[in-house]
């Protein structure tokens, strides 16, 4: 592709009269600044962060089984009623107080893998939520990029339409001058007036699309900047030499959604093991240090021991939990395979879109060059009296359409490039 020619053409488009933006003139907003604003303020990232913190809390709960449980207890009790202290003595009513205080501790010693499997599963779900956060970041970044490129595209289209209005106004003045001296009919003047009106309508529509593009960018940022901003960047061509097979390999290795789905598969398999391990016994230790008496002062006592719990029959609840966990693992595996196919489709579409936009730019560069030459020729012929007003109108329209087609191609190239980067899992940190 003749990149030098395309760059010259783009420079020509950008050198057209500047557009009045939807917002007042203010500080320039670069793409990197826009991405930073979105990463700081977008609500979807707050949701993903909250989910990640929730998964971290579940992991902490699972790990807590490794640690002993220690609690302080204290009771004050008043007792009353008929008591028999000696069978040979009649019962008598009596009331008295009892006070107890101290510490109790328990510690699981061996549970034959139940805790290990639960911790492994919780750790996997936490890692998956962290990858989900990266995926949310990638979605936010892509949304900002697409909206940012949309503003640039809308700005450049406005400039093209402004130039078309200027050309139509000059053509109208020329037609009126020729009509006054009698070299051109009134029809040329009327045609030029219609062309100017159409150019103004196109400009109005282009400016409205620019306002909409700015609103879409603010929505992608997740916030409305306090100070007015302007965008002075241009759409450029970044080379992309990778093949489709290489792109797929990178996507399989880096795509956060795929990694998260694969991690969930492993986590669900750990839950299957944890559910089945409930058939196994649990060995735990316990101990307490207490003070008690009917009145103060209290006297201390302690006890310690071990407990072995061996489940014999639980109404088939463990079997049901194992089946449920296995079904969840199978579903996670199926979701992973489905997501993998979706990623392949997304990568291929973005890659083919990028290549198509690249080829279209090469063809459009030649189209713009020919349209400019045609307009110059049509204007000269009309000024010499050998051309018609329709020839000039068609040449002006062809040039405007060629410029807009070039702008659209640059937008499509940059959008496809950003989409392909996201599809490959290139997360902005």
pLDDT (tens digit per residue) in 100-126: 999 999 999 999 989 999 999 999 999
> How high is the pLDDT of residue 339?
96
**Which residue range forms the structural domain that includes residue 207?**
3-70+111-282+315-424
- Sign, Cα dihedral of 33, 37, 40, 46: negative
62 token code pair = 């699972």
| Residue 347 in domain | yes
| Residue 393 in domain | yes
| Residue 350 in domain | yes
Q: pLDDT per residue over 257-315, tens digit each?
A: 999 999 999 999 999 999 999 999 999 999 999 999 888 888 999 999 999 999 988 88
| Residue 155 in domain | yes
Among the residue ranges 111-120, 237-246, 387-396, the one predicted with the least confidence is 387-396
| Residue 384 in domain | yes
Residue 87 confidence (pLDDT) above 50: yes
> How high is the pLDDT of residue 368?
74
| Residue 294 in domain | no
pTM: 0.80
| Residue 267 in domain | yes
Rounded Cα distance between 206 and 200, Å, is 10
Confidence bin at 427 (pLDDT 50/70/90)? low
First vs last Cα of the chain: how many Å apart?
33
CATH of the domain at 396: 1.20.1600.10
> How high is the pLDDT of residue 386?
66
Residue 15 confidence (pLDDT) above 90: no
Type and span of the H or E element at 316? none
| Residue 81 in domain | no
Outline where DSSP puts E strands in 111-251. 229-230
Number of domains comprising the chain: 1
Rounded Cα distance between 19 and 21, Å, is 6
Rounded Cα distance between 364 and 402, Å, is 7
């Amino acid at each position: 592709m003749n990149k030098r020619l395309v760059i010259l053409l783009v420079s020509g488009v950008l050198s057209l009269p500047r557009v009045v933006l939807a917002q007042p003139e203010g500080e320039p907003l670069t793409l990197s600044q826009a991405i930073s604003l979105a990463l700081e303020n977008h609500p979807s990232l707050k949701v993903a962060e909250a989910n990640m913190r929730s998964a971290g809390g579940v992991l902490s709960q699972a790990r807590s089984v490794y640690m002993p449980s220690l609690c302080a207890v204290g009771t004050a009790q008043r007792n009353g009623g008929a008591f028999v202290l000696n069978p040979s003595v009649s019962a008598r009513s009596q009331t008295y107080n009892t006070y107890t205080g101290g510490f109790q501790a328990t510690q699981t010693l061996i549970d034959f893998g139940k805790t290990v499997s639960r911790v492994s599963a919780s750790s996997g779900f936490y890692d998956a939520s962290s990858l989900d956060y990266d995926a949310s970041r990638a979605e936010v970044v892509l949304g900002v990029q697409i909206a940012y490129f949309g503003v640039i595209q809308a700005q450049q289209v406005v400039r093209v339409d402004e130039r078309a209005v200027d050309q139509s106004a000059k053509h109208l003045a020329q037609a009126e001058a020729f009509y006054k001296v009698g070299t051109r009919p009134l029809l040329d003047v009327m045609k030029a007036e219609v062309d100017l009106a159409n150019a103004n309508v196109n400009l109005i529509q282009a400016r409205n699309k620019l306002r909409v593009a700015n609103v879409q960018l603010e929505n992608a940022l997740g916030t409305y900047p306090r100070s007015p901003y302007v965008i002075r960047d241009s759409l450029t061509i970044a080379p992309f030499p990778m093949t489709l097979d290489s792109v797929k390999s990178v996507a399989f290795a880096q795509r956060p959604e795929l990694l998260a789905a694969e991690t969930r598969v492993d986590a669900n398999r750990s839950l299957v093991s944890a559910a089945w391990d409930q058939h196994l016994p649990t060995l735990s230790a316990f101990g307490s240090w207490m003070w008690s008496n009917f009145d103060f002062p209290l006297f201390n006592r302690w006890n310690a021991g071990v407990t072995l719990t061996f489940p014999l029959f639980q109404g088939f609840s463990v079997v049901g939990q194992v089946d449920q966990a296995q079904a969840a693992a199978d579903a996670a595996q199926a979701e992973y395979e489905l997501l993998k196919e979706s990623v392949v489709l997304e990568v291929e579409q973005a890659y083919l879109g990028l290549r198509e936009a690249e080829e279209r730019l090469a063809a459009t560069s030649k189209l713009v060059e020919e349209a400019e030459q045609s307009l110059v020729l049509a204007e000269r012929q009309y000024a010499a009296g050998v051309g018609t007003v329709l020839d000039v109108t068609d040449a002006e329209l062809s040039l405007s359409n060629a410029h807009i087609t070039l702008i659209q191609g640059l937008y499509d190239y940059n959008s496809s490039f950003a989409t392909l980067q996201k599809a490959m899992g290139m997360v902005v940190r």
